[in-house]
Amino acid sequence: MPDLALQPDREQLMAHIREFARRVKLSGTPEELESFHYLQAQMDSYGYRTQLLSHDAFISLPGAAKVEIEGKGLGCITHSMSVSSGAGGISGDLAHVGEGTEADFVGKDVAGKIVLVDGIATEEVAALASAAGACGQIHVSPNEHLYEMCVSPVWGSPSQHTRAQLPKTVICTIAREDGMRLRERLARGEKVHTTLTAEVDTGWRKTPLLVAEFQPAGEDEPFVLFSGQSRYLAFRCHG
């Protein structure tokens, strides 16, 4: 196996980082594939035997989003696996459900409404809101940052057994200060009418996976598979 005890080459490491930083690598796009070709060439140069695979994956890419409160726009983002609203968006009255726990939904009629949730977007809240008949969700960030999240409770690509579990709501996140003002209005008993618009590109697409295999010459021993959460690269090291 390669000598892992060697000190890293900082200049080469930065060269790799600059190369990967050149592109926005959305899953299933030509830019992502270009980065894979570069990675494959590098692994080939290190003596690995490589194979670039293409497999089907259910991918969701969040796009533009808009939260309008009675015609006034708020800064926001949408999320991977949110429902895409279409150009006209979806509208409804706002209902505060605290942190969006199962207990928070008990006794609240949120059917056809947009729920206001304290905290970042999660798959658990998306499932509860969908089951309760809400048409949308606005999550209030704990600070000024808007956190990118995936709101699907399905692990991996959905099957015929799990696709019904995918969210049925349009989901956006706003900053803490904007959320505080909305909570205060609802606490005073005001009726707050809201429109959510979200563009989310969700569907099956071909995505790359690079397998890099290292085997010393003349040896044919069982191998150990090193892998992690990233789907980008899998190592098979013999010996």
Rounded to an integer, what distance in angstroms lies between the CA atom of residue 232 and that of residue 36?
Answer: 8
For residue 2, the model assigns a pLDDT of 54
| Percent share of the chain, pLDDT over 90 | 80
Residue 230 has pLDDT above 50, yes or no: no
All CATH 3.50.30.30 domain ranges in the chain, comma separated: 59-204
- Domain 59-204 coded CATH 3.50.30.30: yes
What average pLDDT does the structure give for the chain? 90
Rounded to an integer, what distance in angstroms lies between the CA atom of residue 181 and that of residue 199?
Answer: 26
For residue 81, the model assigns a pLDDT of 96
Rounded to an integer, what distance in angstroms lies between the CA atom of residue 32 and that of residue 188?
Answer: 49
Rounded to an integer, what distance in angstroms lies between the CA atom of residue 126 and that of residue 168?
Answer: 8
**DSSP run (H or E) holding 204:** strand 193-214
Mean pLDDT, residues 127-143 taken together: 97
Which two tokens mark 234?
């899998």
For residue 225, the model assigns a pLDDT of 57
Which two tokens mark 179?
């959320």
Residues near 234 by Cβ (< 8 Å), separated by ≥ 6? 209, 210, 211, 212, 225, 226, 227
Residue 239 has pLDDT above 50, yes or no: no
Mean pLDDT, residues 86-112 taken together: 96
- Predicted confidence band of residue 156 (pLDDT cuts 50, 70, 90): confident
pLDDT digits (tens, 9 = 90+) for 8-24: 888 999 999 999 999 99
| Phi, psi (degrees; rounded to nearest 5) at 54 | -130, 120
Contact 223, 237 (CB under 8 A): yes
Residue 136 has pLDDT above 50, yes or no: yes
- Predicted confidence band of residue 184 (pLDDT cuts 50, 70, 90): very high
For residue 155, the model assigns a pLDDT of 87
Residue 70 burial (C-beta neighbours within 10 Å; 0-12, 13-18, 19+): exposed
pTM of the full structure: 0.82
Q: Residue written as tokens 């099957």?
A: 159
Closest CA to 162 of 78, 28, 58: 58
**DSSP run (H or E) holding 62:** strand 49-69
pLDDT digits (tens, 9 = 90+) for 34-55: 999 999 999 999 889 999 999 9
Residue 213 has pLDDT above 80, yes or no: yes
Contact 3, 216 (CB under 8 A): no
- Predicted confidence band of residue 71 (pLDDT cuts 50, 70, 90): confident
